[in-house]
Amino acid sequence: MGKDMKTDMEPIPSPHKRVGNFLIKVFGSALLLAFSYRLLFSDPTGFFVFSSFPASEMPAPKDSPSMENTVAPYTRLPQMALHLRKGDSLKEQCDLFSGEWIPNSSGPRYTNSSCSYIDPYQDCLTNGRPDRGYLYWRWKPYGCDLPPFDAEKFLKAMRNKSLAFIGDSIFRNQIESLLCLLSQVEEAVEIYHDETFQSKTWYFSSHNFTLALIWAPFLLKAELKDSGNSNDYIQLHLDALDDTWTSQYGKHDYIVMSGGQWFLKTTIFWENSTIIGCHNCPGKNFRELGMDYSYQKALELAFRFITASHHKPLVVLRTWTPDHFEYGEWYNGGVCNRTEPYKEGEFSGDPVDPMMRGLEIEEFEKAATIGSENGTRLKLLDSYHLSLLRPDGHPGPYRKLHPDISKRPQNDCLHWCLPGPIDTWNNLLMEIVLNDGGQRYSS
């Protein structure tokens, strides 16, 4: 395994799944029944509610023998549904995160030739990917349309502002997509990078707009070794945030944050300068606490910092990113060679994915409750479901230039081709940022 894949891929073996689904259907056959329903069930505040299926309904892990030659049914976890407000109907609700991928003959808004910001590992067309069908789909939310990305409108709204993405290489993937979309109006100039080129800052001089990528894959303080030895364990401090991002938090008007696949790596957990356990550390005399334990701690501590801060930017949490490895994982021959989106119900994903997303929803709801009382502005960008349906959007073997497919090269089924489905994340981000307070969302 090359060092570049360790840096870019970031996945590791996968465990358990929790699934859930919540679907609202309203029937009114008479005025009295409708009036009674509204009295009993309407919620004028429009808060979110949650539900989940029992463990007995969980799909089998994708590496289970029963799954060897089948595709698991898709079940969503945990489903968030909006209570109706007085005067609302379900048809009037716009749920940006529930929908379907439909054909789009116009294709992407930029190409690999027109954009200079695409990382070579995600430049699928230049690297020789032969099919083009994955470029001709668009996300259609139920109950409304998602407008195409409007670079001019976005840049005008960001004039004299600063936007920061806090996370890992999936955010690098997304920010390069955003740079490509914005380059239709103005090309940004890179004005900063750290020693490892992980954190970067770009500047749009015509709009006095600053765009930053802050590398903080755990959000927490972590000691990472880069010796190339797979036995090097990451030391993760569950009671301390990574000051790489907290020290810059006050500089920005908009924050987009997320955890990611780094939590699946082998890690040793510390609290109060004492080892309290680990994730995936066989042979060590430590208590196995699991990746969900550390991720919940990271989200809880990050949101506590955000809600307690006197600085009140708009903070957007982007949800967990699923991968689409089949017939193995990234380290043992897993591939992603599908050429079309899944239809609703065809695919459940890796069991760990909905579990981690469920933690995000839980901690986001807690923080949103606190934030509503002290002026903290929190929004959810729930990209999980629409991304789950796009196994065709990854580089696969075309993470490198003209790979020899007969030699079964290593596949990347986590990051996304540019252009590709990840461009839709920025469509959603634009809607959330520019309509702050004016749009209600469920997931």
Helix/strand/coil for 191: strand
Q: Residue 85 CB: number of other CB atoms within 10 A?
A: 15
The counts of H helices and E strands in the chain are: 9, 15
Question: For residue 4, what are the CA distances in angstroms to 117, 119, 169, 400, 416?
Answer: 18, 12, 12, 11, 16
Catalytic annotation present for 106: no
Q: Contacts from 146-149 at CB under 8 Å and sequence distance 24+?
A: 146/96, 146/99, 146/424, 146/427, 146/428, 146/431, 147/427, 147/431, 148/109, 148/427, 149/109, 149/181, 149/423, 149/426, 149/427, 149/430
What CA–CA distance (Å, rounded) separates 52 from 77?
Answer: 6
Structure letter (DSSP) for residue 72:
P
Could you give the angle at the alpha carbon of 135 between the alpha carbons of 132 and 139, nearest 5°? Answer: 150
132 touches 393 (CB < 8 A):
no
Catalytic position from the list 14, 98, 169, 183: 169
What CA–CA distance (Å, rounded) separates 265 from 234?
Answer: 8
Given the structure tokens 């065809």, which residue do they identify? 346
The values of phi and psi at residue 360, to 5°, are -60, -45
Catalytic annotation present for 232: no
201 touches 210 (CB < 8 A):
yes
Structure letter (DSSP) for residue 425:
H
For residue 96, the surrounding DSSP H or E stretch is strand 95-103
Name the region of 300 (left: φ>0; alpha: ψ -120 to 50; beta: rest): alpha
Catalytic position from the list 353, 415, 442, 443: 415
Q: Residue 89 CB: number of other CB atoms within 10 A?
A: 9
Please return the burial class of 50, using the count of CB atoms within 10 Å of its CB with bins 0-12, 13-18 and 19+.
middle
Torsion of CA 325, 329, 332, 337, to 10 degrees: 0
Catalytic annotation present for 412: yes
Given the DSSP bridges, would you call strands 254-257 and 314-318 parallel, antiparallel or unpaired?
parallel
Catalytic position from the list 323, 412, 423, 442: 412
Question: For residue 313, what are the CA distances in angstroms to 33, 217, 354, 376?
Answer: 44, 21, 28, 8
Just list the catalytic residues. Answer: 169, 412, 415
